[in-house]
Amino acid sequence: MIRIGVDYYPEHWDRSLWSRDLDLMKKAGVTTVRIAEFMWGLLEPSEGEFHFELLDDFVKMAGDAGIELILGTPTNCPPMWMYRNYPETLSVERTGLPTETGIRGHRCIENPLFRSFAADIIDRMAERYGKNPHVIGWQIDNELSANHCNCRECTHKFQEWLRRKYGTPEAMNKAWGADIWSGQISDWSQVQTPKGQMYSYGWLNPGYMLDYERFAAESTAGYIAFQIRELRKYVPESVPITTNACFCEHTMDFHRSFKDLDIAGYDNYPGTKIPDDPDVVYTTAADLDLMRGVKRKNFWMLEQLSGPMGCWGEMQPVPRPGMLKGYALQTIAHGADMVLFWRWRSAVKGAETFCQGLISHSNVPGRRFREFADTAKTVHELQWLDGTVVKSPVAILWGFEQFNAFKTQYQSPGFDYRDQVKRWQAAYASLGVNVDIIDEEQPLDGYRVVVVPAHYVTSPVTAARVDSFVRGGGTVLVTCRSGVKDKDNGCILSPLPTAFRKVCGCSVDEYDPIGKKDVQIAFPDETLTGSVWCDLLLPEGADIRARYASEFYAGTAAITKNHCGSGTCFYMGVCGKRPLMKRMAKETLESAGVPFIADLPDNVWVNTRESGDGSVRGQFIFNETDREQSFMLDGETMSLAPFEMKIRRIR
């Protein structure tokens, strides 16, 4: 079943509204509602005193109304008594001071006392509702991030983690290059978590920082594993457990975090203002492809844009007509089997008063509500797509190693790893080709084209896989900033792209981090624009596809193509503007013999979902622009309104 629903906070509303809301939800076509992820204060108002009446009543009412529930473990917001009675449960900021209460997520996820209170509330909830037939899934905590707490417990855990990894301080000193700036330690207690304001400015040792990010990622994954263990004492295996991932200041490693979870979950808030610069990739489709890649299967959207966002910053423009529906259907196009709109009603109190829901403060269901109901109607008509998946000829390799390493050592102005991945996704998707974004250490079997964008911290596993994939007949595109670092986050003392040099058939003579300046890239038949980074290439067996046509290195190779074994490997030494990336996407698809649609308008996307045996196939055509678009597709004229998604069954 493909589900549609909302996030709801029964604790925010007078009970007299519950039945009206549930009634309206039913009429609007809601199948599923997520609740309870911030409810701990009500469930345990003082230590050891539990009140489940409110939750019991709502679970019963929703169940009686035929609505399925996803329950959140409420551990993001422990009650105030816990912090006041046990201040050590508070997380500690980079300043070394405890986080002050009043926002949310102030708890230290490693603190043993917090863990024991958390285990207790989770167990009680799981025991009470785990076998309730209306509870069809569980969400762990809320929008978890990598654990950047600086308390004594976390510092000790980090020291232990390093001890396990390196065995001796000397081995760690060597790996980090700690002789530089006298960073050597002689005892584990001398290592601290990265405190202080310099953290984000690249002043700290990159070996240390990358290890710290690895530790922080493992700590969060460990916390998830702890919650799974508690839930599974009572929740049957048939009921999936997930969590709602998001990109944030300290994004958790999705691949590690979801390893033991049953299904990937995500929160999707596309921007409501379309940028004026045509070079900006504003679609969130790459995030969706990445989430599908996390477990290499369909996922759940646990929060989806409902209204103008506010609270964390100034209010954003209200979603334009068509946006709510188009963006929700886009998640299904990319493999979501559930979309829950955050949130049913706008809050009237609290910090998020202006993070708007489907029903605004007027309490009169209006345009956004009607668009939601229309979306729900469409989703109910789409059940023929149940069981279908996205099959992709193209894989883009993503690594949280890279994401974290780039966070602590900046490259050229304008270079952003996630943005580069998004831009490659858009380049292929603009040609109507499905794209998987997978963990860089996953097998590559079954793909025809593999893109390796900025594989900076070199994984020998990935390098070996890429090499044999090409030799076996595949097509690969490797980009600049690949092969730069070793696993200790130190530079490899060899010409770039080091581990990829052979398969690419070229090396980098020198590079120019030109930043946000245009550079001309000449192909035999046209000249396109690049920017941000320029590798000056020396072909070592590869053909030159394009040369720089500006700067002091005009005439030098910028893009090469190497035949290696029975396959082909492109090396792209420059970051492209969108037309240049699209051209390279086309060249790689042509080289691999993958069909594509050449002439879609910009920001109009076509992709497919199909059943395992290919007998059911749905095509999604999405106009992700604020203008009407008319174009030819399969010999037919297609006209799409702004943000309109057309879904049709094809053979």
Asked if residue 389 lies in contact with residue 612, where contact means CB atoms within 8 angstroms, the answer is yes
Angle of helix 400-408 versus helix 206-232 axis, rounded to 10: 140
Q: 226 vs 342, which CB is nearer to ligand GLA?
A: 342
Considering the complex, what minimum distance in angstroms separates the CB of residue 261 from ligand GLA?
17
Least Å distance, CB 309 to ligand GLA, is 6
Return the DSSP state at 646.
E
Residue with tokens 């190779």: 557
- 412-419 long-range CB contacts below 8 Å, 24 or more apart? 412/513, 412/514, 412/515, 412/532, 412/533, 413/513, 413/515, 413/516, 413/532, 414/515, 414/516, 414/531, 414/532, 414/575, 415/481, 415/513, 415/532, 415/533, 415/575, 417/453, 417/454, 417/456, 418/247, 419/281
From the list 303, 371, 624, 644, the catalytic residue is 303
Q: How far apart are CA 576 and CA 585, in angstroms?
A: 11
- By C-beta, is 30 or 309 nearer to ligand GLA? 309
284 vs 608 by CB, closer to ligand GLA: 284
- Residue among 44, 143, 218, 371 flagged as catalytic: 143
Site size with ligand GLA, rule: CB under 6 A: 8
The residue among 83 and 266 lying less far from ligand GLA, judged by its C-beta, is 266
Nearer to ligand GLA, 36 or 355 (CB): 355
288 is an interface residue for ligand GLA by CB under 6 A: no
Closest approach, Cβ 551 to ligand GLA, in A, equals 43
Contact positions with ligand GLA (CB under 6 A) in 323-342: 342
Minimal distance, residue 525 CB to ligand GLA, in Å: 46
Pairing of strands 265-268, 299-305: parallel
Q: How far apart are CA 492 and CA 463, in angstroms?
A: 14
Q: Which is nearer to ligand GLA, 212 or 341 (CB)?
A: 341
- Sign of the dihedral through C-alpha 461, 146, 35, 284: negative
Specify the amino acid at residue 134: H
C-alpha span between 340 and 348 (Å, rounded): 21
Cβ at position 340, least distance to ligand GLA in Å:
11
Q: Are 259 and 221 in contact (CB under 8 A)?
A: yes
CA distance 463 to 502: 10
- Please check whether residue 608 is in contact with residue 509, taking contact to mean a CB–CB distance below 8 angstroms: no
Which is nearer to ligand GLA, 38 or 417 (by Cβ)? 38
What residues from 31 to 90 belong to the interface with ligand GLA (CB under 6 A)?
A: none
Selected from 153, 287, 303, 644, the binder of ligand GLA by CB under 6 A is 303
Question: Is 303 one of the annotated active-site residues of the chain?
Answer: yes
Interface pick for ligand GLA out of 32, 91, 111, 142 (rule CB under 6 A): 142
Shortest spacing between CB 265 and ligand GLA, in angstroms: 11
Question: From the CB of 97, what's the least distance to ligand GLA, in Å?
Answer: 24
Angle among Cα 314, 418, 595 to the nearest 5 degrees reads: 120
The answer to whether the Cα torsion of 571, 504, 492, 290 is positive or negative is positive
Q: Which is nearer to ligand GLA, 310 or 579 (CB)?
A: 310
d(CA 521, CA 534): 10
User: What's the CA gap between 589 and 22, in Å, rounded?
Assistant: 49
- Give min distance, CB of 145 to ligand GLA, in A: 11
Told to check if 587 binds ligand GLA by CB under 6 A, we report no
| Site map 146..165 versus ligand GLA, x via CB under 6 A | --------------------
> How many Å apart are CA 8 and CA 345, to the nearest integer?
8
Q: Which is nearer to ligand GLA, 236 or 313 (CB)?
A: 313
Which of residues 9 and 571 has its CB atom nearest to ligand GLA in the complex?
Answer: 9
Compute the least distance from the CB of residue 302 to ligand GLA, in Å: 8
**Closest separation in Å from C-beta 648 to ligand GLA:** 32
Q: State the minimum distance, in angstroms, from the CB of residue 113 to ligand GLA.
A: 25
Which x/- pattern over 349-368 shows residues binding ligand GLA (rule: CB under 6 A)?
---x--x-------------
287 binds ligand GLA (CB under 6 A): no
Does 309 sit near ligand GLA (CB under 6 A)?
yes
The DSSP symbol for 92 reads: B
| Contact pattern for ligand GLA over residues 246 through 285, marking x by CB under 6 A | ---------------------x------------------
The percent helix, strand, coil of the chain (3-state, each to 5) is 35, 25, 40
> From residue 460, how far is each of 454, 465, 489 by CA, in Å?
15, 8, 13
Separation of alpha carbons 317 and 384, rounded Å: 35
Largest distance between two CA atoms of the chain: 76
Measured from the CB atom, is 142 or 330 closer to ligand GLA?
A: 142
Is 295:571 a contact under the CB 8 Å cutoff?
Answer: no
- Count the neighbouring beta carbons within 10 Å of the beta carbon of residue 181: 10
Residue 143 annotated in active site = yes
Q: Would you state the structure tokens that stand for residue 427, as one six-digit string?
A: 């380049």
376 burial (CB, 10 Å; 0-12 / 13-18 / 19+) is buried
Q: Which residues are marked as active site?
A: 143, 303
Contact residues toward ligand GLA (CB under 6 A) are: 142-143, 267, 303, 309, 342, 352, 355
